[in-house]
Amino acid sequence: MDIQSPGSRLSRAFTLIELIIAMAIIAVVLSVGVPGITSLAGNGRITSAVNSVVRHLHYARSEAVRRSRPVVLCPSLAGTGCDDSFHWEQGFMLFADNNADRIPDDGDSILRHFRPDESRTRILTSPGRKKITYQASGMSPGSTATFTICDPDGRAAPKAVILSNPGRPRLSDFRADGSPLACI
């Protein structure tokens, strides 16, 4: 027969001091980890927006060459006309400009209207560049622009998509002139 004394029983509970130490460790881990996760989420949004802008610039260029007509890319919330704005985060559209007036008319074909899933990223173009026009040659003379993509919360560094006269976009952490990006 096995006889156990009351004092030899194993304790299966935590003491108050152990719980306080565990909570302190969890608080330290969360205080270090949460800012990193929010920065990671901001970088993910910036990368997604950059990829979307570049993808649509490439699509506009290829459609201009394929159709042998100018193709215009412009900010558009509704997808039926170009907005008079430098802000592209609400959406943008591409259309084949059959009469070369840079305005979507009845005879023009709307190729695509893009609206981002979330508007937590700002997309701005350089002053004076409310529309990007690709010619039938695939070039975009007079449409050089810098798209600045920013996290409005400032948790991620801004990125730039710089469009050259030949129509090729490139990525940068600075403006075309080498100055830092400003998210205005």
Report the amino acid identity of residue 174: F
Q: pLDDT tens across 93-119, in order? A: 999 998 888 888 888 889 999 887 666
Higher pLDDT among residues 123 and 176, named by residue: 123
What tokens were used for 179? 């100055």
pLDDT of res. 4: 57
Q: pLDDT tens across 125-140, in order? A: 888 788 999 999 999 8
CA distance 7 to 9: 6
Closest to 82 in 3D by CA, of 52, 59, 105 = 105
Answer whether 0.95 is exceeded by the pTM: no
Q: What count of Cα atoms within 13 Å lies in the side-chain half-sphere of residue 67?
A: 20
Q: pLDDT tens across 28-55, in order? A: 888 876 666 767 777 888 888 899 999 9
Q: How far is CA 47 from the centre of its chain?
A: 5
To which residue do tokens 């010619």 refer? 135
Tell me the domains of the chain and their CATH numbers: 16-172 (3.55.40.10)
CA distance 49 to 55: 10
pLDDT of res. 134: 93
136: phi then psi, degrees, rounded to nearest 5: -60, -25
pLDDT of res. 154: 79
- Residue ranges in the chain assigned as alpha helix (H): 16-67
Q: How far is CA 79 from the centre of its chain?
A: 19
Dump strand ranges (E) for 45-158.
71-75, 92-96, 109-114, 122-125, 132-134, 145-150
CA distance 29 to 43: 21
